[in-house]
Structure 1
Amino acid sequence: MRRGRNRGLGAAGSARGLGAARAVPPLPGYKCAPCPAAASRALGSRSALSRLAMACPLEQAMAIMVTTFHKYSAKEGDKFKLSKAELKELLNKELPVFGSKQMDEAEFKRLMNDLDHNKDSEVDFKEYVCFLACITMGFNEFFKDDPSKHQRRK
Protein backbone atom coordinates (compact mmCIF):
# COMPACT_ATOMS: atom_id res chain seq x y z
CA MET A 1 0.00 0.00 0.00
CA ARG A 2 1.39 3.39 -0.96
CA ARG A 3 1.09 6.27 1.45
CA GLY A 4 0.37 9.68 0.01
CA ARG A 5 -0.17 13.22 1.04
CA ASN A 6 -3.09 15.55 1.08
CA ARG A 7 -2.60 18.93 -0.49
CA GLY A 8 -2.79 21.75 2.04
CA LEU A 9 -3.85 20.89 5.58
CA GLY A 10 -7.08 19.03 4.81
CA ALA A 11 -9.29 18.48 7.81
CA ALA A 12 -6.73 20.06 10.13
CA GLY A 13 -7.35 23.54 8.80
CA SER A 14 -6.81 25.98 6.03
CA ALA A 15 -3.31 26.56 4.70
CA ARG A 16 -4.12 30.27 4.81
CA GLY A 17 -4.04 30.41 8.60
CA LEU A 18 -6.69 29.77 11.19
CA GLY A 19 -9.49 29.61 8.61
CA ALA A 20 -12.33 27.13 8.72
CA ALA A 21 -11.46 23.51 8.07
CA ARG A 22 -12.10 22.21 4.58
CA ALA A 23 -11.84 18.82 2.96
CA VAL A 24 -9.01 18.50 0.46
CA PRO A 25 -9.06 15.69 -2.09
CA PRO A 26 -6.04 13.38 -2.12
CA LEU A 27 -3.60 13.42 -5.00
CA PRO A 28 -4.60 10.97 -7.76
CA GLY A 29 -3.24 7.47 -7.25
CA TYR A 30 -2.56 7.91 -3.52
CA LYS A 31 -4.45 6.36 -0.68
CA CYS A 32 -4.91 8.32 2.50
CA ALA A 33 -7.26 8.67 5.43
CA PRO A 34 -9.41 11.61 4.27
CA CYS A 35 -11.51 11.89 7.40
CA PRO A 36 -11.32 11.20 11.15
CA ALA A 37 -13.51 8.10 10.83
CA ALA A 38 -11.17 6.59 8.24
CA ALA A 39 -8.18 7.47 10.41
CA SER A 40 -9.81 5.72 13.39
CA ARG A 41 -10.42 2.61 11.28
CA ALA A 42 -6.79 2.69 10.11
CA LEU A 43 -5.58 2.57 13.72
CA GLY A 44 -7.33 -0.76 14.23
CA SER A 45 -8.36 -2.32 17.51
CA ARG A 46 -4.93 -2.49 19.20
CA SER A 47 -4.56 -0.62 22.44
CA ALA A 48 -3.30 2.93 22.07
CA LEU A 49 -0.18 2.25 24.14
CA SER A 50 0.98 -0.77 22.16
CA ARG A 51 0.19 1.01 18.90
CA LEU A 52 2.12 4.12 19.96
CA ALA A 53 5.16 2.07 21.01
CA MET A 54 5.40 0.70 17.47
CA ALA A 55 4.41 3.93 15.72
CA CYS A 56 6.52 5.99 13.35
CA PRO A 57 7.68 9.40 14.61
CA LEU A 58 4.91 11.29 12.81
CA GLU A 59 2.26 8.96 14.26
CA GLN A 60 3.79 9.49 17.71
CA ALA A 61 3.67 13.26 17.18
CA MET A 62 -0.04 13.12 16.28
CA ALA A 63 -0.77 10.97 19.32
CA ILE A 64 1.06 13.44 21.54
CA MET A 65 -0.95 16.33 20.08
CA VAL A 66 -4.21 14.51 20.86
CA THR A 67 -3.25 13.30 24.34
CA THR A 68 -1.85 16.72 25.28
CA PHE A 69 -5.15 18.38 24.34
CA HIS A 70 -7.17 15.90 26.43
CA LYS A 71 -4.74 16.08 29.35
CA TYR A 72 -5.64 19.75 29.77
CA SER A 73 -9.23 19.82 28.46
CA ALA A 74 -10.39 17.27 31.04
CA LYS A 75 -9.52 19.46 34.02
CA GLU A 76 -12.67 21.62 34.22
CA GLY A 77 -15.99 22.14 32.43
CA ASP A 78 -16.43 20.56 29.00
CA LYS A 79 -13.89 17.76 28.72
CA PHE A 80 -13.69 18.22 24.94
CA LYS A 81 -12.77 21.93 25.04
CA LEU A 82 -10.03 24.04 26.59
CA SER A 83 -11.18 26.84 28.85
CA LYS A 84 -9.07 30.02 29.01
CA ALA A 85 -7.36 28.72 32.16
CA GLU A 86 -6.71 25.30 30.61
CA LEU A 87 -5.30 26.89 27.45
CA LYS A 88 -3.06 29.15 29.50
CA GLU A 89 -1.75 26.16 31.49
CA LEU A 90 -1.18 24.13 28.30
CA LEU A 91 0.77 27.01 26.74
CA ASN A 92 2.87 27.56 29.87
CA LYS A 93 3.78 23.90 30.29
CA GLU A 94 3.81 22.50 26.74
CA LEU A 95 4.63 25.56 24.57
CA PRO A 96 6.56 27.88 26.87
CA VAL A 97 7.48 30.17 23.97
CA PHE A 98 3.75 31.10 23.94
CA GLY A 99 3.28 30.97 27.70
CA SER A 100 2.20 33.81 29.95
CA LYS A 101 5.83 34.65 30.67
CA GLN A 102 6.16 35.61 27.00
CA MET A 103 2.82 37.39 26.51
CA ASP A 104 0.78 39.76 28.61
CA GLU A 105 -2.94 39.40 29.31
CA ALA A 106 -3.94 41.55 26.31
CA GLU A 107 -1.87 39.39 23.96
CA PHE A 108 -3.38 36.23 25.47
CA LYS A 109 -6.90 37.65 24.92
CA ARG A 110 -6.04 38.37 21.27
CA LEU A 111 -4.70 34.83 20.86
CA MET A 112 -7.81 33.35 22.47
CA ASN A 113 -10.03 35.49 20.23
CA ASP A 114 -8.11 34.36 17.12
CA LEU A 115 -8.33 30.69 18.11
CA ASP A 116 -11.98 30.71 19.19
CA HIS A 117 -13.72 30.69 15.79
CA ASN A 118 -17.18 29.86 17.11
CA LYS A 119 -16.89 32.48 19.92
CA ASP A 120 -17.93 30.13 22.74
CA SER A 121 -14.99 31.32 24.92
CA GLU A 122 -13.37 27.89 24.71
CA VAL A 123 -10.98 26.20 22.28
CA ASP A 124 -12.23 22.94 20.82
CA PHE A 125 -9.98 20.29 19.26
CA LYS A 126 -10.34 21.62 15.72
CA GLU A 127 -9.39 25.14 16.85
CA TYR A 128 -6.42 23.69 18.78
CA VAL A 129 -5.19 21.71 15.76
CA CYS A 130 -5.48 24.80 13.54
CA PHE A 131 -3.32 26.67 16.07
CA LEU A 132 -0.69 23.92 16.04
CA ALA A 133 -0.76 23.86 12.23
CA CYS A 134 -0.12 27.61 12.10
CA ILE A 135 2.73 27.36 14.60
CA THR A 136 4.20 24.49 12.56
CA MET A 137 3.98 26.57 9.38
CA GLY A 138 5.83 29.35 11.20
CA PHE A 139 8.57 26.93 12.22
CA ASN A 140 8.78 25.74 8.62
CA GLU A 141 9.23 29.32 7.41
CA PHE A 142 11.93 29.88 10.00
CA PHE A 143 13.91 26.82 8.93
CA LYS A 144 13.27 27.46 5.24
CA ASP A 145 14.69 30.98 5.45
CA ASP A 146 17.79 29.99 7.44
CA PRO A 147 20.55 28.95 5.01
CA SER A 148 22.44 27.01 7.70
CA LYS A 149 19.46 24.65 8.01
CA HIS A 150 19.55 23.75 4.29
CA GLN A 151 22.80 21.84 4.27
CA ARG A 152 22.31 18.09 4.33
CA ARG A 153 24.70 15.73 6.02
CA LYS A 154 26.29 13.05 3.90
Structure 2
Amino acid sequence: MGRGRNPGLGEPRGGRGCRGGRALAGVINSPRAPAAPSRTPGELSCADPAVPMACPLEQALALMVTTFHKYSGKEGDKYKLSKAELKELLNKELPVFGSKQMDEAEFKRLMNDLDHNKDSEVDFKEYVCFLACITMGFNEFFRDDPSKQHRRK
Protein backbone atom coordinates (compact mmCIF):
# COMPACT_ATOMS: atom_id res chain seq x y z
CA MET A 1 0.00 0.00 0.00
CA GLY A 2 1.10 3.50 -0.67
CA ARG A 3 2.07 5.96 1.97
CA GLY A 4 -0.81 7.72 3.67
CA ARG A 5 -3.27 4.93 2.97
CA ASN A 6 -5.52 3.44 5.60
CA PRO A 7 -4.57 -0.27 5.77
CA GLY A 8 -7.45 -2.59 5.02
CA LEU A 9 -9.88 0.11 3.95
CA GLY A 10 -8.28 1.20 0.68
CA GLU A 11 -9.16 4.83 1.35
CA PRO A 12 -6.61 7.63 1.82
CA ARG A 13 -6.45 8.94 5.37
CA GLY A 14 -8.61 12.00 5.66
CA GLY A 15 -10.02 11.29 2.20
CA ARG A 16 -13.55 12.04 1.17
CA GLY A 17 -14.45 8.64 -0.31
CA CYS A 18 -17.55 8.29 1.87
CA ARG A 19 -20.10 11.02 2.34
CA GLY A 20 -20.74 9.81 5.88
CA GLY A 21 -17.07 9.50 6.69
CA ARG A 22 -17.11 11.96 9.57
CA ALA A 23 -20.11 10.30 11.19
CA LEU A 24 -18.53 6.89 10.74
CA ALA A 25 -15.21 8.09 12.15
CA GLY A 26 -17.04 9.35 15.22
CA VAL A 27 -18.71 5.98 15.69
CA ILE A 28 -15.46 4.10 15.21
CA ASN A 29 -13.73 6.28 17.80
CA SER A 30 -16.53 5.95 20.35
CA PRO A 31 -16.61 3.02 22.77
CA ARG A 32 -20.09 2.07 21.62
CA ALA A 33 -22.07 3.02 18.53
CA PRO A 34 -25.02 5.25 19.39
CA ALA A 35 -28.51 4.02 18.62
CA ALA A 36 -30.29 5.82 15.83
CA PRO A 37 -33.28 7.79 17.06
CA SER A 38 -36.64 6.78 15.62
CA ARG A 39 -38.12 9.22 13.11
CA THR A 40 -41.41 9.77 11.41
CA PRO A 41 -41.69 10.34 7.65
CA GLY A 42 -40.66 13.85 6.68
CA GLU A 43 -38.05 14.24 9.41
CA LEU A 44 -34.33 14.35 8.75
CA SER A 45 -32.83 11.01 7.85
CA CYS A 46 -29.37 9.48 7.66
CA ALA A 47 -29.30 10.42 3.98
CA ASP A 48 -29.17 14.08 4.98
CA PRO A 49 -25.46 15.13 5.18
CA ALA A 50 -26.36 17.64 7.91
CA VAL A 51 -27.27 14.78 10.29
CA PRO A 52 -24.22 14.22 12.54
CA MET A 53 -25.16 10.74 13.85
CA ALA A 54 -24.35 7.51 12.09
CA CYS A 55 -26.99 5.48 10.27
CA PRO A 56 -27.59 1.84 11.24
CA LEU A 57 -25.54 0.54 8.31
CA GLU A 58 -22.67 2.89 9.21
CA GLN A 59 -22.92 1.64 12.79
CA ALA A 60 -22.77 -1.95 11.54
CA LEU A 61 -19.64 -1.22 9.50
CA ALA A 62 -18.02 0.51 12.46
CA LEU A 63 -18.88 -2.45 14.66
CA MET A 64 -17.24 -4.86 12.18
CA VAL A 65 -14.04 -2.78 12.28
CA THR A 66 -13.96 -2.28 16.05
CA THR A 67 -14.69 -5.97 16.67
CA PHE A 68 -11.71 -6.97 14.52
CA HIS A 69 -9.38 -4.61 16.39
CA LYS A 70 -10.76 -5.64 19.78
CA TYR A 71 -9.30 -9.11 19.21
CA SER A 72 -6.40 -8.45 16.82
CA GLY A 73 -4.40 -6.39 19.29
CA LYS A 74 -4.07 -9.06 21.98
CA GLU A 75 -0.94 -10.85 20.71
CA GLY A 76 1.55 -10.57 17.86
CA ASP A 77 0.70 -8.29 14.94
CA LYS A 78 -1.96 -5.84 16.10
CA TYR A 79 -3.45 -5.71 12.58
CA LYS A 80 -3.97 -9.47 12.24
CA LEU A 81 -5.84 -12.21 14.09
CA SER A 82 -3.77 -15.14 15.32
CA LYS A 83 -5.42 -18.55 15.61
CA ALA A 84 -6.12 -17.95 19.30
CA GLU A 85 -7.54 -14.48 18.64
CA LEU A 86 -9.76 -15.83 15.86
CA LYS A 87 -11.05 -18.60 18.14
CA GLU A 88 -11.86 -16.07 20.85
CA LEU A 89 -13.62 -13.76 18.37
CA LEU A 90 -15.71 -16.65 17.01
CA ASN A 91 -16.63 -17.90 20.48
CA LYS A 92 -17.66 -14.48 21.81
CA GLU A 93 -18.96 -12.63 18.74
CA LEU A 94 -20.19 -15.38 16.40
CA PRO A 95 -21.08 -18.29 18.66
CA VAL A 96 -22.89 -20.07 15.82
CA PHE A 97 -19.43 -20.41 14.19
CA GLY A 98 -17.53 -20.67 17.46
CA SER A 99 -14.71 -23.13 17.80
CA LYS A 100 -16.49 -24.83 20.73
CA GLN A 101 -18.91 -26.23 18.16
CA MET A 102 -16.04 -27.11 15.79
CA ASP A 103 -13.47 -29.76 16.35
CA GLU A 104 -9.83 -28.84 15.81
CA ALA A 105 -9.79 -30.23 12.25
CA GLU A 106 -12.80 -28.09 11.25
CA PHE A 107 -11.22 -25.00 12.79
CA LYS A 108 -7.98 -25.73 10.94
CA ARG A 109 -9.91 -25.96 7.64
CA LEU A 110 -11.68 -22.67 8.40
CA MET A 111 -8.38 -20.96 9.23
CA ASN A 112 -6.83 -22.36 6.04
CA ASP A 113 -9.78 -21.10 3.97
CA LEU A 114 -9.63 -17.62 5.53
CA ASP A 115 -5.85 -17.24 5.36
CA HIS A 116 -5.52 -16.42 1.64
CA ASN A 117 -1.90 -15.23 1.87
CA LYS A 118 -0.89 -18.25 4.01
CA ASP A 119 0.83 -16.28 6.78
CA SER A 120 -0.99 -18.27 9.52
CA GLU A 121 -2.94 -15.16 10.54
CA VAL A 122 -6.17 -13.51 9.39
CA ASP A 123 -5.76 -9.89 8.28
CA PHE A 124 -8.58 -7.38 8.00
CA LYS A 125 -9.25 -8.10 4.32
CA GLU A 126 -9.51 -11.84 5.01
CA TYR A 127 -11.81 -11.14 7.97
CA VAL A 128 -14.09 -8.95 5.87
CA CYS A 129 -14.27 -11.63 3.16
CA PHE A 130 -15.32 -14.12 5.86
CA LEU A 131 -18.06 -11.77 7.10
CA ALA A 132 -19.23 -11.21 3.52
CA CYS A 133 -19.54 -14.98 3.00
CA ILE A 134 -21.48 -15.37 6.24
CA THR A 135 -23.75 -12.48 5.23
CA MET A 136 -24.44 -14.11 1.86
CA GLY A 137 -25.34 -17.32 3.66
CA PHE A 138 -27.80 -15.46 5.89
CA ASN A 139 -29.29 -13.81 2.80
CA GLU A 140 -29.82 -17.20 1.15
CA PHE A 141 -31.33 -18.63 4.33
CA PHE A 142 -33.87 -15.83 4.68
CA ARG A 143 -34.59 -15.52 0.95
CA ASP A 144 -35.54 -19.18 0.66
CA ASP A 145 -37.93 -19.02 3.63
CA PRO A 146 -39.49 -15.59 4.18
CA SER A 147 -41.26 -16.81 7.34
CA LYS A 148 -37.86 -16.81 9.09
CA GLN A 149 -37.51 -13.07 8.65
CA HIS A 150 -38.38 -10.77 11.51
CA ARG A 151 -40.18 -7.87 9.84
CA ARG A 152 -41.75 -4.86 11.45
CA LYS A 153 -45.42 -4.37 10.75
Normalised to the residue count of structure 2, the TM-score between the two structures is: 0.69
CA distance in structure 1 between the aligned counterparts of 2:133 and 2:74, rounded to whole angstroms: 25
Cα deviation, residue 152, structure 1: 6.3
1:117 matched to 2:116? The reply is yes
Q: How far off its partner does 1:43 sit?
A: 1.6
Measured at CA, do residues 147 and 44 of structure 1 come closer, stay the same or move farther in structure 2, by a change above 3 Å? closer
Counterpart residue number, 1:78: 77
**CA distance in 1 between partners of 2:30 and 2:87 (Å):** 28
Quote the RMSD (CA, aligned, Å). 2.7
Instruction: List per-residue Cα deviations over 1:90-135 (Å, max 9, x = no partner).
Output: 0000000111221100000000000000000000000000000000
Q: Name the counterpart of 1:44.
A: 22
1: CA distance between counterparts of 2:152 and 2:69? 38
2:106: which partner in 1? 107
Aligned CA distance change for structure 1 residues 61 and 152 (closer, same or farther; 3 Å)? closer
Give the partner amino acid of 1:49: S
State the match for 1:137 in structure 2. Answer: 136
Partner residue in 2 for 1:146: 145
**Aligned equivalent of 2:62:** 63
Contact 2:83 2:121 in 1 (8 A): yes
SS at the partner of 1:118?
coil
CA contact (8 A) 2:114 2:130 kept: yes
Could you say what secondary structure the match of 2:107 adopts? Answer: helix
Residue deviations 1:44-84 (CA, integer Å, cap 9, x gap): 3964339x432111000000000000000000000000000
Structure 1 gap segments, 5+ residues each: 1-33
| Cα distance in 2, alignment partners of residues 59 and 151 from structure 1 | 21
Higher relative contact order (CA 8 A, sep 6+): 1
Q: 1:107 to 1:55 in 2, by over 3 A?
A: same
Aligned to 1:101, the other structure's residue is in SS state helix
- Cross-structure match for 2:45: none
Flag structure 2 segments of 5+ consecutive residues without an equivalent: 1-8, 35-52
